[in-house]
């Protein structure tokens, strides 16, 4: 008789591995199907805010990551036009409400920390799901190599091109009209480019950029922009053209010359990737299905968003903790239940997860999109509004959104 998996998770990204680890902590076995041959480090680093650290604490991996990444103490927002400081926020104020744990985590280190405590064989690499169908109260998965799998529960954490989201009937993510480049710079510890404890943002001049240290020797940078002509669109597919275009925009602004110099010196032949930013229209989450019976989506498969709030990875960790809790409640005492009773409980658990995450996801997507539009637009009026009237609101919103607590497993 063919073995039936308890839980199959499609995708070994942040949300997939975090969900697998959460379920493992609760004694629930899962199988993670990853299409690539190893853990993928695309994205380079993830800015983790207090809401993410609450989730990492719940999953039991926070302390190992704290030991290898610098705790950041504040952020500074600068005008890319004038270089002037627009607003500053401290993460270390005397009042408890001002204290926030923020770090830039190397993405591969986060994935390795999540995967480290999983039982051997949990992650199956080179396993791409190409088709999904219902098989009674089970889900039948067809893989690219011709094999099939049956599972009681199916979780899609397979990113913006999610095959599980497509099966649920969610509309494909939309293009935002913006693109992003990201990278890591090796910086000797004795010659920091700027205060290692601070995050620095620059916006205006048609782009948004930021820099922060991951550790004493590694600087994370990102650059988002709106291609304005065919040449700029075509540059995305050519590493050298994209490098030249990005550096040209940075040099024509007040972005720190030391950082520009370090980016120029770095070999980007294999590392510079520019990708269009996609997002799910928030109202699609209200009208569309994010779960059906024993199937749901998490992470970028659920709520792809622009990176302007820095909440993509953070919210993926939230998803994992909430879904683990909902499924643990649903599967409690499973040995005493019939297949039909178990299916009903799983269905209820999925609905509970969807209800908990729908509005949170809606809010994050909407504010991320709005923030990106405000920070990148050119024009005297927009610059005045952004730098004189909206800067305080932007900083407040970015921090306010991090106060969310996903709870324990």
In the DSSP assignment, the letter for residue 72 is B
Class level of CATH domain 4-71+103-175+278-377: alpha beta
Query: What rounded mean pLDDT belongs to the chain?
Result: 90
How is residue 137 written in tokens? 């109260």
Q: Supply the pLDDT for residue 332.
A: 85
User: At residue 121, does pLDDT exceed 80?
Assistant: yes
Q: Supply the pLDDT for residue 97.
A: 52
Of 90 and 118, more confident: 118
Q: If you average pLDDT over residues 95-114, what whole number do you get?
A: 86
- Work out the burial of residue 366: count CB atoms within 10 Å of its CB; fewer than 13 is exposed, 13-18 middle, 19 or more buried: middle
| 147 contacts: CB under 8 Å, gap ≥ 6 | none
Question: Of 193-197, 227-231, 263-267, which range is least confident?
Answer: 263-267
Q: Supply the pLDDT for residue 367.
A: 93
Which of 92, 86, 96, 47 has the alpha carbon at shortest distance from 73? 92
Domain ranges of the chain: 4-71+103-175+278-377
* pLDDT tens column, 342-386: 999 999 999 999 999 999 999 999 999 988 887 766 666 767 776
Q: Supply the pLDDT for residue 66.
A: 97
User: At residue 311, does pLDDT exceed 90?
Assistant: yes
Q: Supply the pLDDT for residue 324.
A: 98
Diameter of the chain measured on Cα atoms = 70
Tell me the HSE value of 337 on the side-chain side, using a 13 A CA sphere. Answer: 13
Q: Supply the pLDDT for residue 377.
A: 67
Helix (H, G, I), strand (E, B) or coil at 325: helix
Task: Give the Cα separation of 283 and 76 in Å (integer).
Answer: 32
Q: If you average pLDDT over residues 207-219, what whole number do you get?
A: 92
Q: Supply the pLDDT for residue 387.
A: 67
First to last CA, the chain: 34
In the DSSP assignment, the letter for residue 99 is B
* pLDDT tens column, 33-63: 999 999 987 768 999 999 999 999 999 999 9
**Residue owning tokens 């005045």:** 384
How is residue 399 written in tokens? 């921090």
Q: Supply the pLDDT for residue 166.
A: 97
What is the number of other CB atoms lying within 10 angstroms of the CB of residue 383? 18
User: At residue 95, does pLDDT exceed 60?
Assistant: no
CA distance to 73, 207, 254, 379, per residue, from 387 (Å) = 23, 15, 15, 12
Q: If you average pLDDT over residues 18-35, what whole number do you get?
A: 98
Tell me the HSE value of 148 on the side-chain side, using a 13 A CA sphere. Answer: 11
Share of the chain above pLDDT 70, in %: 92
- pTM confidence score: 0.94
Q: Supply the pLDDT for residue 242.
A: 83
With cut-offs at 50, 70 and 90, classify the pLDDT of residue 272: low
> Is residue 321 a contact partner of residue 291, using CB atoms and an 8 Å limit?
no
Q: Supply the pLDDT for residue 335.
A: 65
User: At residue 161, does pLDDT exceed 90?
Assistant: yes
In the DSSP assignment, the letter for residue 96 is G
Of 186 and 153, more confident: 153
Q: Supply the pLDDT for residue 239.
A: 77
Q: Supply the pLDDT for residue 389.
A: 67
Q: Supply the pLDDT for residue 270.
A: 52
User: At residue 271, does pLDDT exceed 60?
Assistant: no
Q: List strand residue ranges (DSSP E) for 129-186, in order.
A: 129-135, 138-143, 148-156, 174-186
Q: Supply the pLDDT for residue 397.
A: 79
With cut-offs at 50, 70 and 90, classify the pLDDT of residue 193: confident
How is residue 330 written in tokens? 């649903």
Residues listed for the chain:
409
Residue 164: its H or E element: helix 163-168
With cut-offs at 50, 70 and 90, classify the pLDDT of residue 269: low
User: At residue 322, does pLDDT exceed 90?
Assistant: yes
DSSP letter string over 74-114? EEEEEETTT--EEEEEESB-SSGGGB--BEEEEHHHHHHHH
Q: Strand 207-215 relative to strand 4-10: parallel, antiparallel, unpaired?
A: unpaired
Q: If you average pLDDT over residues 4-14, what whole number do you get?
A: 97
**Residue owning tokens 């199988």:** 31
Q: Supply the pLDDT for residue 50.
A: 96
Q: Supply the pLDDT for residue 148.
A: 96
In the DSSP assignment, the letter for residue 388 is I
């Amino acid at each position: 008789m063919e073995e039936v998996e308890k839980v199959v998770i499609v995708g070994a990204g942040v949300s997939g591995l975090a969900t697998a680890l959460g379920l493992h902590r609760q004694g629930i076995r899962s199988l993670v199907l990853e299409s690539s041959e190893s853990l993928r480090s695309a994205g380079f680093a993830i800015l983790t805010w207090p809401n993410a650290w609450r989730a990492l604490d719940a999953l039991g991996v926070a302390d190992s990551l704290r030991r290898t990444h610098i705790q950041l103490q504040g952020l500074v927002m600068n005008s890319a036009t004038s270089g002037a400081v627009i607003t500053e926020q401290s993460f270390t104020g005397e009042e408890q409400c001002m204290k926030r744990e923020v770090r830039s985590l190397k993405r591969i280190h986060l994935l390795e920390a999540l995967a480290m405590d999983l039982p051997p064989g949990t992650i199956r690499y080179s396993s791409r799901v190409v088709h999904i169908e219902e098989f009674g109260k089970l889900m039948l998965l067809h893989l690219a190599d011709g094999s099939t799998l049956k599972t009681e529960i199916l979780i899609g954490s397979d990113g913006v091109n999610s095959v599980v989201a497509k099966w649920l009937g969610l509309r494909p993510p939309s293009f935002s009209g913006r693109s992003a480049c990201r990278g890591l710079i090796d910086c000797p510890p004795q010659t920091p480019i700027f205060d290692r404890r601070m995050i620095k943002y620059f916006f205006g001049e048609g782009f948004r950029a930021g820099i922060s240290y991951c550790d004493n020797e590694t600087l994370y940078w990102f650059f988002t922009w709106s291609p304005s002509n065919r040449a700029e669109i075509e540059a995305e597919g050519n590493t050298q053209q994209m490098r030249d275009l990005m550096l040209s925009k940075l040099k024509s602004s007040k972005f720190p010359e030391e950082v520009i110099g370090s980016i120029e010196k770095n070999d980007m032949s294999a590392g510079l990737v520019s990708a269009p930013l996609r997002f799910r229209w928030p109202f699609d989450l209200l009208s569309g299905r994010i779960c059906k019976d024993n199937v749901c989506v998490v992470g970028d498969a659920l709520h792809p968003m622009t990176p302007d709030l820095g909440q993509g990875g953070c919210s993926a960790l939230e998803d994992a903790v909430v879904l683990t809790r909902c499924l643990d409640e649903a599967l409690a005492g499973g040995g005493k239940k019939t297949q039909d009773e178990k299916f009903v409980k799983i269905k209820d658990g999925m609905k509970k997860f969807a209800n908990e995450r729908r509005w949170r996801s809606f809010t994050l997507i909407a504010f991320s999109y709005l923030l990106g539009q405000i920070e990148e637009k050119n024009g005297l009026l927009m610059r005045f509004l952004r730098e004189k009237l909206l800067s305080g609101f932007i900083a407040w919103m970015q921090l306010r959104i991090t106060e969310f607590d996903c709870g324990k497993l």
